[in-house]
Amino acid sequence: MGLFQRLVQKTGGQAAAPADGAEQVTLSQLIDLLNLGGIPRSKLSEATYFTCLRVLSEGVSKLPLKLIRSTPERGVEEVRENPLYRVLRYRPNPIQTATYFWADMEMSRNHYGNAYAAIFGSGVSTQLWHMRSDRVSVWFDNRRILGPDARLWYIWSAPDGRRYKLCQDEVLHFRTWLSLDGITGLSVQEILRSTLDGSLQSQQMLNSLYKNGFTAKAAVQYTGDLNSEAEQNFLRGLEAYATGQMDATKSFIPVPLGSKIEPLNIKLTDSQFIELRKHSALQIAAAFGVKPNQVNDYEKSSFANSEAQQLAFLTDTLLWILKGYEEELSWKLLEPAQMDRGEAAQFNTAVMLRADTKTQIESMVQAVANSLYMPNEARAYLGMSSAAGGDRLIANGNVIPLEDVGKQYGNGKE
């Protein structure tokens, strides 16, 4: 790849070797690469786990990211003239939109525990490139081997077999909240491996029941004496009928004279299978900070309750994640002088709180009447064009400063 120019010299094989040398992989190969062991399939095939990844990835990526400047004189305003504004808001690199880029970053952060993006260029030429988390290792150069200062270095193993080094100022690093060393994060699948494995095994059990037409194991009673080979042929014939492999007889099983089939019924209700499966799903969702209604558990939800859960998802889950993104982006991409002027990267969380049209209009009317918004600001919030004379604050005539109370009844004296 032409983007990475610094080749790391091989030093005793300390850096991880690349998983493969291919530029392109199939979907099945990708699933195998994502698997961290324990079970033959990736955790991505677990429905609740996949749903949580989707909810968080879409939750972050759908929020517009912008540069703002906060000053006592002018309050908060967007800094559209900064070249980084277009990079963060629209296109971090030539091949990805901001929506897809931040969805990839959030998915990697949750699935692997860490997400990395390389920073190239500056100003109008700034580009952000997502690096696969399983190909990046983090070194703390406390012995100052790679540079004059004790810094973090990120070693990236490229698909072509080479390794590249990037210093801590050249990489955006986002991690989960749980870390044992204060640098790299732990993923949910590492922490809840047993819960995820149990949930996957329960899904495999249901798949097996579906495949067998919800027919459990059975005991076959027969008279006479069969040798081992004849017994296996006899059972294979019965199983072919039971599983519907015989197209002409999917509903009936012919039983030889003197034989009897006794099903060994497994009642899911007796083993509280559904309750345990639901409990596991809620545990996985809670570990991600995802609310029950977002994983299709509406047992205790109503319309008002769902709205409250959406607000709780923003305040309890997303705000911490967004704060970490904003701090890392502001520190790594902005100059000290820009930060001193009050500039920072910020997600617009207001898009998550938009209510129905009636509620929005009522809120805007109150905001304009109480001088919080100018009329044109309210119109822009509702997706309408500006109107003449709408760029000034207006207020209810009954609301005046305390020191002016009574002046309207006299000659201006208190």
- 342: its two tokens: 């009050």
């949910």: which residue's tokens? 188
pLDDT on residue 278: 59
pLDDT on residue 393: 87
pLDDT on residue 43: 53
Could you tell me the pTM of the whole model? 0.68
- 233: its two tokens: 């042929």
Domain that includes residue 258, residue range: 190-274
pLDDT on residue 105: 95
pLDDT on residue 389: 84
Q: Tell me how many domains the chain contains.
A: 3
pLDDT on residue 210: 55
Structural domain includes residue 379: yes
Tell me, yes or no, whether 60 and 179 share the same domain: yes
CB 92 within 8 A of CB 126: no
Among 239, 249, 248, which Cα is nearest to 211's?
A: 239
Tell me, yes or no, whether 83 and 226 share the same domain: no
Tell me, yes or no, whether 117 and 216 share the same domain: no
Structural domain includes residue 6: no
Tell me, yes or no, whether 363 and 339 share the same domain: no
According to DSSP, residue 318 is labeled I
Angle among Cα 377, 380, 382 to the nearest 5 degrees reads 115
Tell me, yes or no, whether 233 and 316 share the same domain: no
pLDDT on residue 148: 76
- 180: its two tokens: 């044992």
* pLDDT < 70: residue spans in the chain: 1-46, 193-227, 230-231, 234-235, 237-279, 298, 300-307, 354-356, 398-402, 405, 408, 410-414
Tell me, yes or no, whether 95 and 150 share the same domain: yes
Can you say how many angstroms the Cα of residue 360 is from the centroid of all Cα atoms in its chain? 28
Residue 205's CB: how many other CB atoms inside 10 A? 14
**Number of residues in the chain:** 414
Residue 188's CB: how many other CB atoms inside 10 A? 22
pLDDT on residue 104: 94
Tell me, yes or no, whether 368 and 307 share the same domain: no
- 194: its two tokens: 């047993």
How would you list the strands of the sheet with 65-71, edge to edge? 75-78, 65-71, 343-347
Residue 56's CB: how many other CB atoms inside 10 A? 23
pLDDT on residue 67: 93
- Which residues are CB-contacts of 84 (< 8 A; sequence separation ≥ 6)? 67, 123, 126, 333, 334
pLDDT on residue 359: 79
